[in-house]
Amino acid sequence: MKNVVNKIQNWKDKLLSYGGRVVLISHGLQDALFYKLWWNLRSKPSLWGSFMANKYYNKLHPVIAKCRGASTI
């Protein structure tokens, strides 16, 4: 069983170059941090969260709110 797992692991490692694996890992990390930020914005009442809500979607649900563009800062 251990030999099969090692062969599969080696096969998976050879699909991407070192740079490709680094990009894949950094993309996953970036997504995780974004989702954590979004979760904190939606679940915990805070001054920053209420500011962002009022600025970008005026207390509507974010899915319903119309996109007004990005911040100019």
Instruction: Please indicate, yes or no, if residue 65 is contained in any of the structural domains.
Output: no
3-class DSSP assignment, residue 14: coil
67 lies in some domain: no
Domain count, the chain: 1
| Predicted pLDDT at 20 | 75
Domain extent at residue 8:
2-43
Q: For residues 16 and 58, give the distance between their C-alpha atoms in angstroms, rounded to a whole number.
A: 44
Residue 59 is predicted with a pLDDT of: 61
Evaluate whether residue 73 is within a structural domain.
no
pLDDT band for 58, please (50, 70, 90 cuts).
Answer: confident
Residues in the chain: 73
Between 6 and 72, where is the model more confident?
6
Q: Does residue 11 lie in a domain region?
A: yes
Contact 58, 65 (CB under 8 A): yes
- 38, part of any domain: yes
Task: Tell me if the pTM is above 0.75.
Answer: no
First to last CA, the chain: 56
Q: Quick one: average pLDDT of 36-57?
A: 81
In a domain, 18, yes or no: yes
